[in-house]
Amino acid sequence: MNEHDFIFVPHSSARLRSKETADQHKKLFKAGNPAGAARLLKNHPHLEAFTASLFNFLEQKLVSIEEQLSFKKQEIFNVYSDTEPTAEEMAGKVFWNKEY
C-alpha cells in the first residue's frame, strides 16, 4: 500500500448536538476554513469527534499488519480431486474439494 491507495476527503465527523454549533461548524467548512472548524471543536470539549490521533493510530496498525503479512508464506489448505483423498494426500490440508 502507498499513499495513492487512499483518497481522503475532509468531512465533519463530529456529533454536534447543538444546532448553533453545528451550523457554525458547517459554515466554517463551506467557507474553506477547516482550521477554524477544528478550533471550534477544540474549544468545545464536550463534543464527540474523531481526531487525527485516531486516524494516525489506525494507519500505524495497518502498516504493521501489512509488514507482518508480507513475510508470510502462502499456504494451500485445499485438496482438489474427483476421488476421496487418502490420509497422506490430506496431510497438512483442511478441505477436500470435489468438482461436480
3-state secondary structure of 15: strand
Range of lowest pLDDT (3-7, 46-50, 55-59, 83-87): 3-7
Please give the residue range of the domain that contains residue 39: 17-69
Task: Examine residue 40 and state whether it is found in any structural domain, yes or no.
Answer: yes
The mean pLDDT value for 36-61 works out to 75
Q: What are the cell numbers at 86?
A: 487418502
What pTM did the predictor assign?
Answer: 0.35
| Domain tally, the chain | 1
Task: Examine residue 93 and state whether it is found in any structural domain, yes or no.
Answer: no
Predicted confidence at residue 62, as pLDDT, reads 92
Predicted confidence (pLDDT) at residue 5 exceeds the cutoff of 60: no
- Residue 78 contacts residue 92 (beta carbons within 8 Å): no
The mean pLDDT value for 80-91 works out to 86
Predicted confidence (pLDDT) at residue 100 exceeds the cutoff of 80: no
Task: Examine residue 25 and state whether it is found in any structural domain, yes or no.
Answer: yes
Task: Examine residue 37 and state whether it is found in any structural domain, yes or no.
Answer: yes
Range of lowest pLDDT (9-18, 24-33, 40-49, 63-72): 9-18
- The string of pLDDT tens digits covering residues 52-80 is 667 788 888 999 999 888 888 877 888 88
Average pLDDT, the chain: 78
- Chain centroid to CA 74: 23
Residue matched to cell numbers 489506525 = 58
